C-alpha cells in the first residue's frame, strides 16, 4: 500500500498521498437557502488527511438543483458558508476543490424556482432515475423527474457564463480550484449524449456540436481559475448488467469515441486532472482495457479513478500506469481517518445507509476514528 502514500503533483499542488475524498452528496446544507454550515465544515475538516478533496456537487444556480438540501454556490450567503469549510480544511493542511454542478433535466418542479420545469438540451424526460424532494420540513422522498423544457440557444450561452461566475464564487470562498461535474446524466452529460440531446442548433447533432457546451464551459472556467486549478469528471459507461442502473440511460452507441473525443477537448485546454467515475453497483462491468490505455494516451494531466475502489485495486491500477490518484467514496464517509487506516491495514467502519442523505451529525460527523 505504500505506493498510495508517495507524493504526487496536481497542477501547482503537491499531494501528500494519492487517496482522494471524491464528490459525495450528503444533503446537509442549512435551510432556507441551501447554505453550507458549521456541521459541513466539521465533516470536511475531519477528512483533510486525504491527499486531495472535492466537495459534494454544488449547484451553480437555483435551476441546477435536483435533490433536497444540497448546497449552492451562487448566493452571498452560500459563499460565506463555504468560507467556513475551506478555512477548516486549510487549517488541517488539506487541499479542496469545489465541484460545480447543474442537474439539468434530473429535477422536479418542486425544486425549481416558482415551480417551473427543469431546463435541458431537449424536452426529453429523464428515466431510470429518481430525484429527492422535500415533503415536509426535514423530511423527503424519492420522486420521478418531470419533463424539462428545451433551453434556447441564448440560454445555453448564459449558462456558460453561470459556470464562470460559479468559479469566481468558488475562488472568493477560498477553494483551491474547481471540478466540473460532467457525468452521471446531469446537464453537461445531457448535451454530450445522443440520447438526451436532439437539438438542431450549434449545440446538437454531430459529436463535435454536442461537445460544444463542454468546450465553452471549460474555456470560460479556465479563464477564471486557470487550467492548472481545474478538473472535469466523466462517468463513461460501456454496458450495464443491471436494468435498474443504466446510468440514467446515457449509454452511447460508441462510448469509446464519444469520451475519447471529449477527453481531447480537455487535453487541448490543458486542465490539471480528469476524474473518471466507474460504474459502482454490484457486478458492474470494468472499463475496457483499451479504453484505459486510450485515456492515458490522450490525456497528459493527472488521472483520477473512483467507483468501488479497494486499496488493492488502486495499487494495481497505479502500478499498471492507468491512474494517478483514487477516490474512495463510501469508505471515506464511514472512516474520516481513511488514509491512516489504509496505511496501517486497520479494519474499516461500515457505512450506515440510513444516514447517507439528510439529517444532522448522525452518520455524518460521528463516525469514530481508529485511535479513539
> Which pLDDT tens digit goes with each residue over 338-358?
999 999 999 999 999 999 999
pLDDT at residue 241, rounded to an integer: 55
**Are the C-beta atoms of 246 and 221 separated by less than 8 Å?**
no
**Catalytic site positions:** 186
Using CA atoms, how far apart are residues 87 and 364, in angstroms rounded to an integer? Answer: 19
Provide the residue ranges of all domains of the chain, joining segments of one domain with +.
Answer: 2-355
**Are the C-beta atoms of 348 and 334 separated by less than 8 Å?**
yes
pLDDT at residue 251, rounded to an integer: 87
**Helix, strand, coil share of the chain (percent; to 5):** 35, 15, 45
The DSSP H or E segment spanning 214 is helix 212-225
Using CA atoms, how far apart are residues 104 and 118, in angstroms rounded to an integer? Answer: 6
| Per-residue pLDDT at 319 exceeds 90 | yes
pLDDT confidence of 88, banded at 50, 70, 90? very high
Using CA atoms, how far apart are residues 171 and 174, in angstroms rounded to an integer? Answer: 5
**Could you tell me what percent of the chain has a pLDDT over 90?**
92
Which is nearest to 181 in space by CA: 28, 58, 357, 280? Answer: 58
pLDDT at residue 249, rounded to an integer: 65
Q: Which three cell numbers stand for residue 235?
A: 462517468
**Are the C-beta atoms of 258 and 192 separated by less than 8 Å?**
yes
| Per-residue pLDDT at 36 exceeds 70 | yes
pLDDT confidence of 35, banded at 50, 70, 90? very high
> Which pLDDT tens digit goes with each residue over 259-268?
999 999 999 9
Q: Among 184-193, 280-289, 358-367, which is the least confidently predicted range? A: 280-289
Tell which CATH classification among 1.10.10.10, 3.20.20.70, 3.40.50.150, 3.30.70.360 matches the domain 2-355: 3.20.20.70
Using CA atoms, how far apart are residues 216 and 164, in angstroms rounded to an integer? Answer: 10
pLDDT confidence of 291, banded at 50, 70, 90? very high
**Are the C-beta atoms of 337 and 349 separated by less than 8 Å?**
no
| Per-residue pLDDT at 246 exceeds 60 | no
Amino acid at each position: 500500500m505504500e505506493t498510495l502514500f508517495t507524493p504526487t503533483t496536481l497542477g501547482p499542488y503537491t499531494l501528500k498521498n494519492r487517496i482522494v475524498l471524491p464528490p459525495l452528496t450528503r444533503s446537509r446544507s442549512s435551510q432556507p437557502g441551501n447554505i453550507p454550515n458549521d456541521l459541513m465544515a466539521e465533516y470536511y475538516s475531519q477528512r483533510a488527511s486525504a491527499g486531495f478533496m472535492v466537495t459534494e456537487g454544488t449547484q451553480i444556480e437555483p435551476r441546477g438543483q435536483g435533490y433536497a438540501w444540497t448546497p449552492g454556490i451562487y448566493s452571498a450567503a452560500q459563499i460565506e458558508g463555504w468560507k467556513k469549510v475551506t478555512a477548516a480544511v486549510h487549517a488541517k493542511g488539506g487541499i479542496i476543490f469545489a465541484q460545480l454542478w447543474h442537474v439539468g433535466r434530473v429535477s422536479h418542479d418542486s425544486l425549481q424556482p416558482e415551480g417551473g420545469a427543469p431546463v435541458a438540451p431537449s424536452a426529453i424526460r429523464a428515466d431510470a432515475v429518481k430525484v429527492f424532494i422535500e415533503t415536509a420540513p426535514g423530511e423527503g422522498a424519492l420522486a420521478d423527474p418531470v419533463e424539462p423544457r428545451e433551453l434556447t440557444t441564448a440560454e445555453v450561452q448564459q449558462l456558460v457564463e453561470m459556470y464562470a461566475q460559479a468559479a469566481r464564487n468558488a475562488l472568493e470562498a477560498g477553494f483551491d480550484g474547481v471540478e466540473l461535474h460532467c457525468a452521471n446524466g446531469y446537464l453537461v452529460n445531457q448535451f454530450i449524449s445522443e440520447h438526451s440531446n436532439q437539438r438542431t442548433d450549434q449545440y446538437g447533432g454531430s459529436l463535435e456540436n454536442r461537445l460544444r457546451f463542454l468546450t465553452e464551459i471549460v474555456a470560460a472556467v479556465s479563464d477564471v481559475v486557470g487550467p492548472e486549478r481545474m478538473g472535469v469528471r466523466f462517468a463513461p459507461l460501456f454496458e450495464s448488467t443491471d436494468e435498474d442502473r443504466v446510468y440514467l440511460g446515457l449509454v452511447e452507441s460508441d462510448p469509446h469515441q464519444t469520451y475519447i473525443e471529449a477527453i481531447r477537448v480537455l487535453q487541448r485546454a490543458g486542465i490539471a486532472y480528469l476524474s473518471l467515475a466507474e460504474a459502482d453497483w454490484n457486478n458492474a462491468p470494468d472499463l475496457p482495457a483499451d479504453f484505459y490505455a486510450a485515456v492515458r494516451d490522450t490525456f497528459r494531466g493527472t488521472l483520477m479513478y473512483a467507483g468501488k475502489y479497494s486499496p488493492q485495486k488502486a495499487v494495481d491500477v497505479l502500478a499498471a500506469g492507468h491512474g494517478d490518484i483514487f477516490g474512495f467514496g463510501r469508505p471515506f464517509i464511514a472512516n474520516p481517518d481513511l488514509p491512516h487506516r489504509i496505511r496501517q491495514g486497520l479494519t474499516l467502519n461500515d457505512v450506515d445507509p440510513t444516514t447517507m442523505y439528510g439529517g444532522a451529525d448522525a452518520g455524518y460527523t460521528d463516525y469514530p476514528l481508529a485511535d479513539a
